[in-house]
Structure 1
Amino acid sequence: MSDTARDIYLPVAAQPSIDTFATFATQAEQLGYDRIWCPETWGRDAVTILTAIAERTDEIGIGTSILNVYSRSPALLGQTAATLQEVSDGRFRMGLGPSGPILVEGWHGTEFESPLRFTRETIEIVKTVVAGEPLEYDGKIHQLSGFRLRFDPPESVPPIDAGGMSPKSVELAGRFGDGWHALMLTPEGLRERIEDFEHGSDLGDRDREDQRITLALPCIALEDRERARYLARNHIAFYVGGMGTFYREALKRQGFEDTAETIAIEWANRNKEAAIEAIGDDLLDELGAVGTPEEARERVADFEAIDGIDAINISFPRAAEPEEIEATIDVLAPE
């Protein structure tokens, strides 16, 4: 049996209600999952969802994956971390990251500047705030003074993880964060980025045993194998073709240059089915655990066996129906 934890990544797509998210969370807690991660993109805000989940669960961890560092101030992110740690009785873990220009500039109207530096400074500021220390910070981007929590800081300071895809961003996560959130990676690509993380950990003189690498793994386990694989292809094509260059560049670094370009071109030309079809079986199986229940279980176990992975975050295709998500949560439950 693997020592790797199994987490749940709540669906990025809009769901019927907050109760739907809470149902996924309570199901996951009953089945023994370690943590619930909540994304924040264009749907409901992650903080409200996690507050509702914290009130309706008892033991399962909660976390953000990820809050972008541009749409909330660093001090407010610190307040948020301290408050969610309080409302969850110490079960909170924060994931932060820069996201990308489409979300930051297009949706929030904020300049996407110096993402690595912005992320580093935000992590440092959040850690100061949640520790209850006076905030006197003189950075290249942020110059802050005079802030301090007006309530007792949490007894257990919540860990602050960083998201990242490029070698430098993963190195930053290792150097300044308590963990790294990985995604869109093949097993070989994951091993290369783990080396970057551990190099950053060494640079920051961090204890690697105290840090956590969490892989968000696209998963869908259905008796209807073709439906499962189509959903996953659609999900990958959407991110590579429609969400900026980061996912495309990640695929290129892992040896899928032609596929990444084809997906991007077809998506830009609104040939979405062609973009979906460009994702071959080899790439699909390299990036996720997709197919029948038996196939999905075996593939998750393959990823769990990769040295350096501390948690597998079971995530779901954006077009999956709630009942398909519930079925997958059940099939892939920890043993």
Structure 2
Amino acid sequence: MNDVAYDVFLPVAAQPSVKSLVAQTQRAEDLGYEMAWLPETWGRDAVTTLATIAHETVEIGIGTSIMPVYSRSPALIGQTAATLQEVSDGRFRLGLGPSGPIVIEGWHGQSFDRPLRHTRETIDIVKLVLSGETVDYDGDIFNLGGFRLRCDPPEVPPGIDAAGMGPKSVELAGRFADGWHALMLTEQGLKDRLEDLRRGAELAGRDPDDLRVNVGLGCCVLDDAEHARDLARQHLAFYIGGMGTFYRDSLARQGWEDVAMTVSEEWSNRNREAALDAIPDELLDQMSAAGTKEQAKESIERFANIDGVDAISVSFPRGAEQEEINATLDALAPDSTA
């Protein structure tokens, strides 16, 4: 197996408190996970939560996966990255992405317009902010100038990763970011997108090996293996069917169009059980690591052995209870997967 890092993707679903997220990160730190990533959807904001986590941990890296580029100005994102790098003593990494139209339009009330250009210009501006130099930028979307950070910039700027699921968004990560966050991809889908990442890096005259590729993998390991797989299947069905067309179209692009369309249709008609039944075991195993510890480890190893993968992010089904999250975190800790 490739020498990959094991990260943890903190639960996207609502948690009892910020303290519970701190406790999960402390547990991950004790178990040897390298990074703890926090998504930002419509629950607790990532900035306040990560600042709290930074003060309550010592070694584990912290990062946003992802911070939507539509919900803050690029300059504010740059200020935030500099501040989180300071309060974490250099352990922060910034994950950016457009999110999806259902969140950006339905929650933030913003038009999901030109997501690739919006992401590219945000990365450009954030890098300028973090340099400490005066920011002068004349883009298609953003025009700003005359200001620089009022505090010292980070001695070591945090890495900036871009999330992406489609060919052009992954190519963008290869051209302009320091890493790529892969999510909801099959093994073949991941291999195809890695080609896009390499092409983007080569277009920019960069070495693809310098980019950190992080693969988010839905994981659930329980004594009741079937329940673990049920939770993972529910998670997939929610994203394919309940989050607009974004994840549905991504799955279709990976060769599972019939499944994607059936799940989406059944979910929209509130036929939840039919939507779950439409996800075959083969696809479940292609997109998650769920069941017994041995089953989950086998799935993780297949992804870890793909050339170009640097880290596996152990993430959890949105319906998992705290005890189930902890059980999975413990079972898949780096030392236990050796």
Q: Does 1:292 align with 2:296?
A: no
- Once the two structures are superposed, the pairs formed by residues 99-114 of structure 1 within 5 Å of their partners are 99-114=99-114
Distance in 1 (alpha carbons) for counterparts of 2:209 and 2:272: 43
Give 1:124's aligned residue: 124
Amino acid at match of 1:190: L
Q: Deviations over 1:249-288 (max 9, x none)?
A: 1111111111000000011111112111111100000001
The alignment partner of 2:112 has SS state of: coil
| Percent identity of paired positions between Structure 1 and Structure 2 | 64
CA distance in 2, matches of 1:291, 1:133: 51
Letter in 2 for 1:302: R
Deviation for aligned residue 1:210:
2.1
Show the counterpart of 1:243: 243
Q: Secondary structure at 2:162's aligned position in 1?
A: strand
1:112 maps to a residue whose letter is F
Contact (CA 8 Å) 2:209, 2:308: kept in 1 or not?
Answer: no
Residue type of the alignment partner of 2:121:
E
Q: Secondary structure at the match of 1:270?
A: coil
| Preserved contact between residue 7 and residue 312 of structure 2 (Cα < 8 Å) | yes
* Matched AA of 2:10: L
Match of 2:94 in 1: 94
- TM-score of the aligned structures, taking structure 1 as reference length: 0.99
**Letter matched to residue 9 of structure 2:** Y
Measure the CA separation in 2 of the matches of 1:190 and 1:59. Answer: 30
**Which deviations, in whole Å up to 9, do the C-alpha atoms of 1:94-118 show, x marking residues without a partner?**
0000111111111001111100000
1:234-273 pair list within 5 angstroms: 234-273=234-273
Aligned to 2:160: 160
**Does 2:175 align with 1:175?**
yes
Q: Is the 8 A contact 2:197 2:208 kept in 1?
A: no
AA at the equivalent of 2:113: E
SS of 2:65 mapped into structure 1? strand
Deviation at 1:206? 1.6
Q: Verify the 8 A CA contact 1:186 1:254 in the aligned structure 2.
A: yes
Distance, in Å, in 2 between the alignment partners of 1:151 and 1:296 is 46
Structure 1 unaligned regions, length at least 5:
none
Specify the alignment match of 2:327 in structure 1.
327
In structure 2, distance between residues paired with 1:131 and 1:159: 12
- Matched letter for residue 267 of structure 1: W
What corresponds to 2:73 in structure 1? 73
Distance 1:214 1:127 in 2: 21
1:48 offset after TM fit, Å?
A: 1.1
Between the aligned partners of 2:14 and 2:47, the Cα distance in structure 1 is: 15
Given residue 71 of structure 2, which amino acid in structure 1 is its aligned partner? S
Deviations 1:193-220 (A, max 9, x none): 0000000000111222321110000000
In structure 2, what residue type is equivalent to 1:174? G
Aligned residues: 335
Letter in 2 for 1:12: V
Partner in structure 2 of residue 40 of structure 1: 40
Match of 1:199 in 2: 199
Scaled by the length of structure 2, the TM-score of the pair is 0.98
For 1:307-329, what per-residue CA distance to the aligned partner results, in whole angstroms no more than 9, with x for missing partners? 11000000000000011001101
The gaps in structure 2 that reach 5 residues or longer are none
Aligned counterparts of 1:102 and 1:75: Cα–Cα separation in 2: 24
**Shift in Å, 1:35:** 0.1
Matched to 2:60, the amino acid is: I
CA offset at residue 147 of structure 1?
Answer: 2.0
- TM-aligned CA deviation for residue 2 of structure 1: 3.7
Q: Could you report, residue by residue, the CA deviation over 1:229-261 in whole angstroms, capped at 9, with x for unpaired residues?
A: 110111001001111212111111111111000
1:108 match: secondary structure = coil
- SS of the aligned residue for 1:266 comes to helix
For the residues of structure 2 that align with 1:264 and 1:142, how far apart are their CA atoms?
Answer: 36
Cα deviation digits, residues 16-42 of structure 1 (max 9, x gap)? 111111111011101110000000001
Asked if the contact 1:248/1:264 (under 8 Å) is kept, the reply is yes
Deviation readout 1:284-313 (Å, 9 max, x if unpaired):
000010101121122111211111100000
